[in-house]
Amino acid sequence: MGSDDRPKKIDRRDVLKGLSTLPALGLFGYAWQKQRAYQQTKVEEAAAAAQAPADLQVINIALLGAGAQGQVLTDSMLRIPGLRFRAVCDIWTEYNQKRVVNSLKRFKHEPNAYEDYREMLDKEKELDAVIVATPDFWHERHAVDCLKAGKHVYCEKEMSNTLEGARRMVAAQRQTGKLLQIGHQRRSNPRYLHCYNKLLKEAQLLGRIITVYGQWNRGVTPDLGAPDRYAIPQARLTQYGFKDMHQFRNWRWYRGKGGGPIVDLGSHQIDVYSWFLGANPSQVMASGGNLYYDPKTHEWYDTVMAVYDYDTPLGPAKASYSTQTTNGSQGYFENFMGDQGTLLISESEVNYAGQLYRDPNAPAWDEWVQKGYVTAPKEQATKATSDSGAVADVRESVAPDQHTVPVTLRDPYHQPHLQNFFDAVRGTATLNCPADEAYRTAVAVLRVNDAIESRAPLAFTPADFEV
């Protein structure tokens, strides 16, 4: 046989060597258990986070105005934890009101439906806040009455279709001490906040902003209509200030109801002008006209071009704004142009989401790139160096480096601003667009229509912007 004929007993060496790899199994078991536990806690954490945390104070809210904008706000609010819809109020009971109530019921909210907002304020005992998304000419009544009934109010922009109305809203807010946030949602947009706080205030990347250009261009659209079968009876339309169904659906174009595109579209961006420039305008001149649509159904200007003068802390500046509803070329954006750089930004996450250009003569932005305030430039300008160390090749003009804003909004556009409002209701934040701040924008915007009429520059005094 072989050399292993001798009977062999197990000795300690054998046992030791034999079991030497057993601990590996033990280690495996331990590692595996840890991983399972980790996965389990992640799943549990996610499940727990999905429900509103127990200590998050639930805010009872009512939606006043269930039209297009009200629905957009509701979509956002359904994603914010800790809210309970108690009521939906809209005069179009046959259509919009019913649709929104049904969509809320899907999410276990049990809102009561109202046509008359006063009845809602009377009957709803557990209401903390009201979201107002009714036509501009109703904003004052709705907001003031809700504030006086002890509710916090989030009111869509424009504050009102008249400055007197807007002033009364500010007064009511001061008198009642409740919160009144106006819906200029860019004030809470993380990209805009980043640009304002980090790029303009802290880094002063653009140097001194001297000119601003902004626009909102939109193509031709037919008037809004309504399904025949859901038409509102004329009596009800009259009761709430509408001449007919067409005016009910297209109130924005009518005098006394809305302010036309300069207010619908422009007010957001002109608000950003004042915000970023850190000043109110000293003058506005504007030209506008009803160039295209039927003046019988479009009483306001479908095309407006306005130029503002500002005395900013860093020096004078001019800002032009243009809006048209006959062609959508290049959509909407704001372009801030300073002596050291340019900021091109819009609310859209896709178009003009935030591009910055450094003027070639400006100091390098390396420090800010490293801090993460702006991304590294897309194309490095080729720097030609000669042997003597001289810097630039003067024959070629150097293209400016393009940086982008490294902030993305992941949620629907109105969500951060609504979240800010509800945080303020809970006392954990301050409003980003309180009424007195929004009033200044209302002045700058509503007066454009006056400027168009008067065909002359309209001067502002600082007192104009204070209530």
Partner 1 sequence: MEDMKLSRSAMIAITVLRVVVGWHFLYEGIAKLTSASWSAAGYMKASRGPFATFFHWIASQPHLLDQANLITMYGLTIVGVLLILGLFTRVAALGGLGLVMLFYLCNPPLVGYFYSIPSEGSYLIVNKNLVEVCALAVILLTRSGLFAGLDRIVRVLVFQRAQPARTAAA
Partner 2 sequence: MSGGGAEGVYVEQPGDLRDVRRFAHEAMATVYEVYAVHADRRYAAQAAHACFDLVDRLERELSRFLPNSDVARINDLAAGDSTRVAPSTLECLVIARHIFELTGGAFDVSIGTGMPSLEFDTEESVVRATAEGVRIDLGGIGKGYAVDLMAELLEDWGLTAALVHGGFSSVLALDPPGTAEGWPLTLSDPREPSTVLERLSVRQTALGASGVRKRDHIVDPHTGTPVCGRRAAWVTVPRPRATAAQAERQYRAAAAAVTDALTTACMLLGRNEIDALCRNSPGVEAWILEDTELLHFGGAASELSERASGAERAGEAASEPRCRGVRGAKPLG
Residues forming contacts to partner 2 in the complex (CB under 8 A) are 39, 42-43, 45-46, 49-50, 68, 75, 78-79, 102-103, 106-108, 221-230, 349-350, 408-413
Query: Residue 42 or residue 123: which is nearer to partner 1 going by CB?
Result: 42
Query: Residue 226 or residue 362: which is nearer to partner 2 going by CB?
Result: 226
CB of 79 to partner 2, least distance (A): 5
108 binds partner 1 (CB under 8 A): no
Query: Residue 4 or residue 387: which is nearer to partner 1 going by CB?
Result: 4
Give the type of residue at 65.
Answer: G
38 binds partner 1 (CB under 8 A): no
Among 12, 22, 50, 386, binds partner 1 (CB under 8 A): 22
19 binds partner 1 (CB under 8 A): yes
Nearest alpha-carbon partner for 148 in 125, 124, 178, 170: 178
How far is CA 424 from its chain centroid?
A: 16
> What whole-number distance in Å separates Cα of residue 145 and Cα of residue 165?
13
Query: Residue 43 or residue 58: which is nearer to partner 2 going by CB?
Result: 43
Among the candidate windows 22-30, 162-170, 338-346, 410-418, which touches partner 1 by CB under 8 A?
Answer: 22-30
Tell how strand 315-324 and strand 303-312 pair up.
antiparallel
CB of 63 to partner 2, least distance (A): 17
Cis previous bond, 158, omega within 30: yes
Query: Residue 39 or residue 239: which is nearer to partner 1 going by CB?
Result: 39
Decide: helix, strand or coil at residue 87: strand
Q: DSSP per residue over 265-305, as a string?
A: THHHHHHHHHHHHTS-EEEEEEEEE--SS-TTT--S-SEEE
Among 9, 108, 125, 383, binds partner 1 (CB under 8 A): 9
CB of 40 to partner 1, least distance (A): 12
CB of 349 to partner 2, least distance (A): 4
Q: Residue 15's binding partner, choosing from partner 1, partner 2, none, with beta-carbon cut-off 5 to 8 A by kind?
A: partner 1
Q: Residue 78's binding partner, choosing from partner 2, partner 1, none, with beta-carbon cut-off 5 to 8 A by kind?
A: partner 2
47 binds partner 1 (CB under 8 A): no
Among the candidate windows 11-19, 68-76, 106-114, 341-349, which touches partner 1 by CB under 8 A?
Answer: 11-19
CB of 297 to partner 2, least distance (A): 11
Cβ proximity of 214 and 300 under 8 Å: no
Q: The tokens of 141 are what? A: 């009544």
> What whole-number distance in Å separates Cα of residue 281 and Cα of residue 297?
32
CB of 49 to partner 1, least distance (A): 22
Tell how strand 59-64 and strand 83-89 pair up.
parallel
Query: Residue 331 or residue 412: which is nearer to partner 2 going by CB?
Result: 412
Dihedral class, residue 454 (left if φ above 0, else alpha if ψ from -120 to 50, else beta): alpha
Q: Residue 45's binding partner, choosing from partner 2, partner 1, none, with beta-carbon cut-off 5 to 8 A by kind?
A: partner 2
Q: The tokens of 170 are what? A: 């500010």
CB of 419 to partner 2, least distance (A): 13
Cβ proximity of 352 and 344 under 8 Å: yes
Cβ proximity of 459 and 283 under 8 Å: yes
Neighbours of 417 (CB within 10 A): 23
Helix (H) or strand (E) holding 22: helix 22-50
32 binds partner 1 (CB under 8 A): yes
Query: Residue 96 or residue 162: which is nearer to partner 2 going by CB?
Result: 96
Among 24, 50, 235, 350, binds partner 1 (CB under 8 A): 24
Terminus-to-terminus CA distance in the chain, angstroms?
A: 112
CB of 214 to partner 2, least distance (A): 22
Decide: helix, strand or coil at residue 314: coil
Q: The tokens of 278 are what? A: 């850190």
CB of 424 to partner 1, least distance (A): 43
Nearest alpha-carbon partner for 434 in 275, 202, 258, 263: 275
CA angle 155, 156, 157 (to 5 degrees): 120
Query: Residue 157 or residue 414: which is nearer to partner 2 going by CB?
Result: 414
Interface residues with partner 1 (CB under 8 A) are: 2, 4-5, 7-10, 14-15, 17-22, 24-25, 28, 32
